[in-house]
Amino acid sequence: MSSILIIKHGSLGDIAQISGAIQDIKENHKNDRVLILTTTPYEKLFKKCPFIDEVYIDQRLPRWNFYYLFNLKRRISRLNLAKVYDLQNSSRTSFYKKFLFNKIEWSSTETTLPPGTTKKDFDKDAVLDRFNFQLKQSNIITKHTLKPNFSWACENIDVLKKKYNLEKYVLLFPFCSVNLPHKKWPYFNNLIEIIKNKYPKIKVVIAPGPKEIRESNSINALTILKNNSALNITELSGLISNAEFVISNDTGPAHMSAHLGAKGVALFGYHTSAKKVSMETELFKTISKNDLKTLSAEEVFSKISKELSLI
């Protein structure tokens, strides 16, 4: 039995997006072991994935750390790899191809580019379209890549629901990376006030990440934690899956929501488009404004009020 290696280091939203691609790779390699090289934050998550047989960790130490690279190459060489599917498509994984795995068949953006197209141009296309093209060019029959299903990541949250008395709730993600302040819509508290006034029976909740717990104190919503700590990825997936509606900035949880089949909306500024990041689904939509500061709470509410009225 041969082994197939998928490389995906992160981030959380990207991992939700590649669920369909991983499923397609597994279904096309039914008689092979499918392994994944990822980073520590996603080890437990991928161990839960039904399309992955084994998980390997890449510490991503500096490239001048030859001792680490030598050991990584030696570790990978023992896996009897038949092919590598590079779903990270980064400069680091390109380096790996040239210097660590140069004798192994490799599928990546660079090895499957359309004739006459540069990687820079190709990267302007929608994320899922790019993965779909890469896999098709690598002789993979794609049935799931364009419609990822992240439901395998969900954990039962009955205990949490009982603790916080969660029956019907709207889940908000008002946070974003401190390095990406332009992604942050500033009027979540205004929207919460409108929702509570119009629909007093709807419970509005938030689920902050580890670095967002302090900031959550400034949001006028019920904060969901477990043992005073942030939920892990599988618990968060369960919380999203059980929500009646999700409202989010363009963050990892928004991508999770889209590919968990949740109803909801993500708010986009000038930084990118919903089409490019493959965010929209039949149930999960987007609202875009060049400057998020000009997108009022009243405007957002008017676009989601019909869905909220059905809760």
pLDDT at position 180 is 73
Contact 94, 108 (CB under 8 A): yes
Own/partner long-range contacts of 266-272 (Cβ < 8 Å, ≥24 apart) = 267/185, 267/292, 267/295, 267/300, 268/292, 269/182, 269/183, 269/185, 270/182, 271/180, 271/182, 271/183
pLDDT at position 91 over 90: yes
What is the average per-residue pLDDT within 172-200? 91
pLDDT at position 102 over 80: no
pLDDT band per the 50, 70, 90 thresholds, residue 277: confident
The CA distances from residue 160 to 163, 171, 202, 207, in Å, are: 5, 14, 17, 12
Structure tokens at 195: 């929702």
What is the average per-residue pLDDT within 154-173? 96
Question: Which carries the bigger pLDDT value, residue 181 or residue 196?
Answer: 196
β-sheet bridge partners, residue 38: 57
pLDDT band per the 50, 70, 90 thresholds, residue 179: confident
pLDDT tens digits, 8-44? 998 899 999 999 999 999 999 999 999 999 999 999 9
- Looking at the fold, whether 199 and 77 belong to one and the same domain comes out as no
- Looking at the fold, whether 38 and 158 belong to one and the same domain comes out as no
- Looking at the fold, whether 21 and 52 belong to one and the same domain comes out as yes
Domain that holds residue 30: 3-148
- Looking at the fold, whether 79 and 214 belong to one and the same domain comes out as no
Bond into 11 cis (ω within 30): yes
- Looking at the fold, whether 304 and 173 belong to one and the same domain comes out as yes
pLDDT at position 207 over 80: yes
Give φ, ψ of 107 to 5 degrees. Answer: -115, 120
Structure tokens at 301: 């509410």
- Looking at the fold, whether 300 and 203 belong to one and the same domain comes out as yes
pLDDT at position 311 over 90: no
- Looking at the fold, whether 87 and 161 belong to one and the same domain comes out as no
Average pLDDT, the chain: 93
Instruction: Look at residues 148, 180, 196 and tell me which one is the last residue of a structural domain.
Output: 148
Give φ, ψ of 3 to 5 degrees. Answer: -120, 145
- Looking at the fold, whether 79 and 134 belong to one and the same domain comes out as yes
- Looking at the fold, whether 162 and 248 belong to one and the same domain comes out as yes
Instruction: Look at residues 148, 181, 201 and tell me which one is the last residue of a structural domain.
Output: 148
pLDDT at position 294 over 90: yes
Number of domains comprising the chain: 2
What is the average per-residue pLDDT within 191-209? 95
pLDDT band per the 50, 70, 90 thresholds, residue 176: confident
- Looking at the fold, whether 111 and 176 belong to one and the same domain comes out as no
- Looking at the fold, whether 65 and 157 belong to one and the same domain comes out as no
Residue 143 half-sphere exposure, CB side, CA atoms within 13 Å?
Answer: 6
- Looking at the fold, whether 76 and 161 belong to one and the same domain comes out as no
pLDDT at position 124 is 81
Instruction: Look at residues 129, 148, 167 and tell me which one is the last residue of a structural domain.
Output: 148
What is the average per-residue pLDDT within 55-75? 94
pLDDT at position 155 is 95
> Could you tell me the CATH number of the domain that includes residue 50?
3.40.50.2000
